[in-house]
A and B are shown apart, each in its own frame.
Chain A
């Protein structure tokens, strides 16, 4: 069974479009995260979210918004895509804190 899953695996789209990446975890965790990994493999946390609190990395543009329909899902919606948004986006979840995170397989976003 996949613990943290993301769809799609690959996403190719034009500049200016709006797109969403879905994340689901079946671990019963309370906290979910989104990370961005750029072409140099540098990983940066974008959001952490649980039922009570959304913590946003202040460097993330407001074109990015997490949406959580329920505790097991945290989707990432991106408006007005730009070339610099091209990256691999990872979802993760944890129960007790960042030291117990499980990562998904990633979504490679390419903006043309």
Chain B
């Protein structure tokens, strides 16, 4: 079945470092969403992307909708301890079926 693969699976970084993660699919997606989930909480939407090639920022976060429409990227600049959590990509494919990615777990070491 459809799966959105995220890499890396986990990251351990020093506070202040930049972070890059990506999400790839075997099929075309109409929209790419990036969520953050903190322990004991539900996912919270960070960024939504709607067009191939689109680059959108939200504070220290920047995400891009891949030109092939089969991938997306999320960057976090100057990480801080509260960036800790699991980051998920998600979206509906062209069949309007909605999927979450496998997640990237981020740990920031002060």
Are B100 and A106 in contact, with the CB atoms below 8 A? no
B interface, by DSSP: helix, strand, loop or mixed?
Answer: strand
Task: Known contacts A44-B100, A98-B33, A99-B48; decide if A106 and B42 are in contact (CB<8 Å).
Answer: yes
Q: How large is the interface on B (under 10, 10 to 19, 20 to 34, 35 or more residues)?
A: 20 to 34
A15 in the interface (beta carbon within 8 A): no
Instruction: Enumerate chain A residues within 8 angstroms of B88, measured Cβ to Cβ.
Output: 43
Interface size on A, residues (CB 8 A): 19
Instruction: Enumerate chain A residues within 8 angstroms of B43, measured Cβ to Cβ.
Output: 43, 90, 103
Q: Shortest CB–CB separation between residue B42 and chain A, in angstroms?
A: 3
From 1 to 53 in chain B, residues with beta carbon under 8 angstroms from any chain A beta carbon are 1, 31, 33, 37, 40-45, 48, 50
Name A residues whose Cβ lies closer than 8 Å to a Cβ of B: 4, 35, 41-45, 48, 59, 90, 92, 98-101, 103-106
Q: List 23 A-B contacts (CB under 8 A).
A: A41-B37, A41-B105, A42-B102, A43-B88, A43-B90, A43-B100, A44-B99, A44-B100, A92-B42, A98-B31, A98-B90, A98-B91, A98-B92, A98-B98, A99-B33, A99-B45, A100-B45, A101-B45, A103-B43, A103-B44, A104-B42, A105-B42, A106-B42
Name B residues whose Cβ lies closer than 8 Å to a Cβ of A: 1, 31, 33, 37, 40-45, 48, 50, 86, 88, 90-92, 98-100, 102-103, 105
